[in-house]
């Protein structure tokens, strides 16, 4: 009867005969919820540590990928530069070939002209010697 009067007043006794404001069932559920919350917080802390290490690892890999990407871009640019240098060198050599061919043609014409002049002079000398 005293228990009923206390229950109506909102007071209850637990299994250790301590006075509680909550009903024993509600107190038990609250305690279980508290323990579940502790477990959840511990799991969340563990999860955050795992995620933190995962993010650190991913950031490290991303930095390495960026370094390799920059190296690849540099290599590609160097290759393009070398290709352009090779093309420029090839054009210079082709221009030099054209110049040398023109010089060859000029020298060939000069040679032919000198041969013709030599033959004319030889002819003149022969005629001069014969007419003398």
Domain ranges of the chain: 2-131
Query: What's the pTM value of the predicted model, to 2 decimals?
Result: 0.50
- Print the SS3 string covering the chain: CHHHHHHHCCCEECCCCCEECCCHHHHHHHHHHHHHHHHHHHHHHHHHHHHHHHHHHHHHHHHHHHHHHHHHHHHHHHHHHHHHHHHHHHHHHHHHHHHHHHHHHHHHHHHHHHHHHHHHHHHHHHHHHHHC
Task: Going residue by residue through the chain, which has 132 residues, state the pLDDT in tens, using 9 for 90 and above.
Answer: 555 655 565 556 565 666 666 666 777 788 899 999 999 999 999 999 999 999 999 999 999 999 999 999 999 999 999 999 999 999 999 999 999 999 999 999 999 999 999 999 999 999 989 886
């Amino acid at each position: 009867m005293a228990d009923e009067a206390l229950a109506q007043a909102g007071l209850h006794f637990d299994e250790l005969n301590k006075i509680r404001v909550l009903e024993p069932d509600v107190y038990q559920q609250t305690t279980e919820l508290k323990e579940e919350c502790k477990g959840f917080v511990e799991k969340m802390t563990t999860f955050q540590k795992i995620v933190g290490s995962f993010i650190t690892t991913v950031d490290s890999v991303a930095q390495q990928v960026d370094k390799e990407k920059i190296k690849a871009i540099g290599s590609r640019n160097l290759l393009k530069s070398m290709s352009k240098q090779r093309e420029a060198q090839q054009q210079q050599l082709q221009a030099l070939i054209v110049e040398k061919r023109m010089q060859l043609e000029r020298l060939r014409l000069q040679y032919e002209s000198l041969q013709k002049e030599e033959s004319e002079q030889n002819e003149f000398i022969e005629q001069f010697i014969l007419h003398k």
